[in-house]
């Protein structure tokens, strides 16, 4: 019996995206480098706030919010 795979999401990544990925990887930083700082700045400006913090997952975001609100 052959093993079948159900694809939940097929990446739609072209050459432009791959080049940006290469640039990020070349910096040596995946989550805290210049690209992340630029992203945080753009998001903060877009939503009209002083600061924005990028995190690596929704779980981390929810945990951070609960900590900030002192919810145990």
Q: Which of 49, 25, 44, 45 is nearest to 35 (CA)?
A: 25
Report residue 22's pLDDT band, with 50, 70 and 90 as the boundaries.
Answer: very high
Position 1 pLDDT exceeds 80 = no
| Strand blocks (E) in 1-72 | none
**Is residue 46 classed as helix, strand or coil in its secondary structure?**
helix
In the chain, what's the furthest Cα-to-Cα distance?
57
Confidence at residue 20, expressed as pLDDT on a 0 to 100 scale: 92
Confidence at residue 12, expressed as pLDDT on a 0 to 100 scale: 87
pTM as predicted: 0.69
Residues 50 and 32: their CA atoms lie apart, in Å, by 18
């Amino acid at each position: 019996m052959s093993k079948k795979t159900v694809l939940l999401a097929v990446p739609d990544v072209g050459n432009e995206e791959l080049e940006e990925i290469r640039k990020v990887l070349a910096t040596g930083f995946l989550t805290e480098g210049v690209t992340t700082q630029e992203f945080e700045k753009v998001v903060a400006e877009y939503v009209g706030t002083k600061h924005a913090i990028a995190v690596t997952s929704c779980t981390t975001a929810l945990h951070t919010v609960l900590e900030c609100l002192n919810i145990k």
